[in-house]
Chains A and B, each alone.
Chain A
Amino acid sequence: MTVGVQVKQTLAELKGIQATLKTFAQSGGNKEANALLLKNARRVALVIEKMEKRLGTLEFEEPQYKGF
């Protein structure tokens, strides 16, 4: 498995986490918990953004693994 594929997997997992955190925050709960969840969902989004940028470079270096 190349680094590109690995990073892709992590990226997918991170996106899953972000979605679940947002779902948790959606479902009622209380304000304190919601704020905490949203704050960390944003944090994960930040990481996703960084990783996607890196993935662009990796795909350029290993074009044979491009796409999902």
Chain B
Amino acid sequence: MSEWLNILLRSAGLFALTLLLVRLIGKRLTSRLTFFDLVTGIAIGVIVAALSLNMVQNFAGGLVALAVWTVFPALLYLLAIKYKAVRDILQGKETVLINHGKVLEDKLLEARLTPEDLLGQLRKKNVFNFADVEFAVLEPDGELSALLKKEKQPATPKTLGLAVVRESVPQTVMLDGVVMDEPLAAMGLNRRWLHTELAKAGVAPENVFLAQVDSLGQLYLDLFDDAIQVPKPRARERVYVSLKKCQADCELYALGTRNPEAGKMYEESARLLEQAVRELEPLLTR
């Protein structure tokens, strides 16, 4: 058998084998690489490369090495799920680098990080001033996680004291011009509804690249033809504004009428509408 054919068969076989063995290890390896994962990956790669190029005299021995380097990590990962001690050895522990806003120099040394490294990692998290950090941890995979000081954290509706209403995820009902029936049905809608909405927006169905429906049944569109401006759904804002207008109207009538009974009725109406405006504001305007 000629040399090249030998290498071809070997490589093809090893390719398939490695694919299977790597599956055995699981998804961990790619998602969060610890130092040990890296070593395992490189070892497997080197063994496979050496075997497929016929650089090892003992082919069976190479296969055994490959098996060991895949089965052992796989077993270890399984054990690690069960026992914390194994986990600590395998993945290492996280290192607290900044606590209460103070950089812990000895921990930095332990993690073999220079101050420049720390600053660089913080910058990657969009933190340019180390004084903004309350707490920072070096994760076992080398990623830095930072908790900003309370006053430096981005404002959320909660910190601003704003009420919000929980809403479900928007459903994607058209992809690449194809109607997705299942998400439509999940929203309690159908193709006819979709076609009506598209006609309302003045858009041909075959021109739609993406279409999503939010939890209030509003349709958001993106077209193939980017020159066309799609009207944005405004129903929420419109209802909110007209609700406010009606409330103002009622107040106006209450002032205008000379009939005390009617005045009371208008005031009562204005009060009811005001309550509605207040309650619906989070849903309709945020």
A residues neighboring B (CB under 8 Å): 3, 6-7, 10, 13-14, 16-17, 20-21, 23-24, 26-30, 32-33, 36-37, 39-40, 43-44, 46-47, 50-51, 53-54, 57
Contact = CB atoms under 8 A, between A and B. Distances in A.
18 contacts: A3-B253, A6-B249, A6-B253, A10-B249, A13-B245, A17-B239, A24-B216, A27-B187, A28-B186, A28-B217, A29-B168, A29-B215, A32-B166, A36-B280, A40-B280, A47-B250, A47-B269, A47-B273
B96 interface: no
B246 interface: yes
Given A40-B279, A47-B272, A50-B265, A17 B168 contact: no
B180 interface: no
B217 A26 contact: yes
A27 B280 contact: no
B188 interface: yes
B256 A3 contact: yes
Interface of B: 165-168, 171, 186-189, 213, 215-217, 235, 238-239, 242-243, 245-246, 249-250, 253, 256-257, 262, 265-266, 268-269, 272-273, 275-276, 279-280, 283
A30 B168 contact: yes
A interface: dominant SS: helix
Given A26-B188, A37-B283, A47-B250, 19 more contacts: A6-B249, A7-B253, A10-B250, A14-B246, A20-B239, A21-B239, A24-B217, A24-B235, A27-B188, A27-B213, A27-B216, A28-B189, A29-B215, A32-B166, A33-B166, A36-B279, A40-B279, A44-B272, A53-B265
A54 B213 CA distance: 40
Contacts of A51: 269
A3 to B, nearest CB: 7
Residue in B188, B273, B275 whose Cβ sees the most chain A Cβ within 10 Å: B273
A26 B168 CA distance: 14
A18 to B, nearest CB: 10
B273 A44 contact: yes
A11 to B, nearest CB: 9
Nearest to A33: B165
Nearest to B278: A40
A54 B262 contact: yes
Given A17-B242, A20-B235, A51-B269, A30 B215 contact: yes
Given A30-B166, A32-B166, A50 B188 contact: no
B266 to A, nearest CB: 8
A33 B286 CA distance: 13
